[in-house]
């Protein structure tokens, strides 16, 4: 039986960073998240679509990690979602849509995926209708959502423009953990103030709002129990590509929170888990639980003010 379902389309990303370029890196939020979760020992299933231009050998990367791909559909007449991601030296991103994948409908979800304990929704561009969310959020599951795919639209040249989405309140009622980033706050909450945004979003349903790192920030922000706390960023050993950090953070938080029910520790754990993702282009670098805990121990040994917060977990 599976532990976790990850939902959202697969993609290829053209990546440009100050360190180099990749024309078509294997990616998509579900790829980052499912692989990250598999390294954490989770039995993972993926619900996704890709097009005729998708390389089937890339699915082997998931299968090789024992990730169930019964929910992955290759649409013979469709396209794979593609983005161009350009990062500056501060990790800030400019993004352009190059190809759009098909929607994921309720009937695309295998029956065997309906009884899992955890669901992580990671849409990337307008592919996840409310009916699919409703089908997968029954029976008391722990539900995490990164809303980026709902708030992305395009400008005249295909550039990604962030805006609010129509079914926000209907969907957020079904969410326990909302994972977003500072640049997305204006779109999802109509304010760039983190506390005001978190309070507003939490009032719509999520008990926890996790505002992940972006743009070279030194901390993430976590809203729970009506308060906002900072969570330090654990740096990678080498910085290559910041893509996928939010996806890995979201799923690592979900997995750890379901085990411990401790929000701050789960966010700290997610910070360490996501640091491994930055050490390679695309979805090619992940840490297992022992490696993540070892990285946390090193960080805490140099930042002793966090020792008390980690007591009982290390």
Give pTM, 2 decimals.
0.95
What distance in Å separates the CA atoms of residue 311 and residue 158, rounded to the nearest whole number? 48
Q: Which pLDDT does position 217 carry in this prediction?
A: 63
CATH of the domain at 107: 3.40.1190.20
Which residues have CB under 8 Å from 16's CB, separation 6+? Answer: 84, 85, 86, 87
Domain range spanning residue 33?
Answer: 4-310
Provide the number of structural domains found in the chain.
1
Neighbours of 254 (CB within 10 A): 28
Per-residue CA distances from 267 to 29, 100, 173 (Å): 18, 32, 22
pLDDT in tens, the chain (314 residues): 999 999 999 999 888 877 777 667 788 899 999 999 999 999 999 999 999 999 999 999 999 999 999 999 999 999 999 999 888 877 778 899 999 999 999 999 999 999 999 999 999 999 999 999 999 998 889 999 999 999 999 999 999 999 999 999 999 999 999 999 988 998 999 998 999 999 999 999 999 999 986 655 678 999 999 999 999 999 999 988 888 999 999 999 999 999 999 999 999 999 999 999 999 888 899 999 999 999 999 999 999 999 999 999 99
């Amino acid at each position: 039986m599976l532990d976790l379902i990850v939902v959202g389309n697969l993609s290829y990303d053209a990546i440009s960073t100050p360190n180099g370029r990749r024309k078509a890196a294997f990616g998509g939020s579900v790829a980052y998240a499912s692989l990250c979760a598999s390294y954490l020992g989770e039995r993972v299933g993926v619900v996704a679509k890709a097009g005729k231009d998708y390389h089937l050998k890339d699915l082997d990367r998931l299968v090789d990690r024992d990730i169930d791909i019964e929910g992955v559909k290759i649409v013979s007449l469709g396209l794979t979602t593609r983005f161009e991601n350009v990062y500056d030296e501060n990790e800030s991103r400019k993004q352009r849509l190059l190809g759009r994948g098909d929607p994921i409908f309720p009937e695309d979800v295998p029956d065997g995926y309906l009884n899992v304990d955890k669901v992580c929704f990671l849409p990337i561009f307008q592919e996840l209708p409310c009916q699919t969310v409703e089908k997968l959020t029954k029976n008391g599951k722990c539900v995490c959502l990164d809303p980026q795919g709902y708030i992305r639209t395009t400008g005249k040249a295909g550039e990604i423009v962030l805006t609010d989405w129509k079914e926000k309140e209907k969907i957020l009622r079904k969410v326990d953990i909302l994972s977003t980033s500072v640049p997305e706050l204006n779109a999802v909450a109509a304010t760039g103030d983190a506390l005001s945004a978190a309070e507003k979003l939490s009032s719509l349903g999520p008990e926890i709002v996790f505002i992940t790192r972006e743009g070279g920030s030194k901390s993430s922000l976590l809203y729970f129990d009506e308060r906002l706390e900072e969570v330090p960023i654990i740096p990678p050993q080498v910085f290559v590509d910041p893509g996928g950090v939010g996806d890995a953070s979201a799923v690592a938080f979900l997995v750890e929170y379901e085990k411990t029910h401790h929000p701050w520790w789960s966010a700290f754990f997610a910070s360490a888990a996501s640091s491994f993702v930055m050490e390679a282009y695309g979805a090619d670098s992940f840490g297992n639980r022992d490696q993540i805990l070892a990285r946390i121990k090193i960080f805490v040994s140099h930042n002793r003010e966090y020792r008390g917060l980690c007591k009982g977990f290390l």
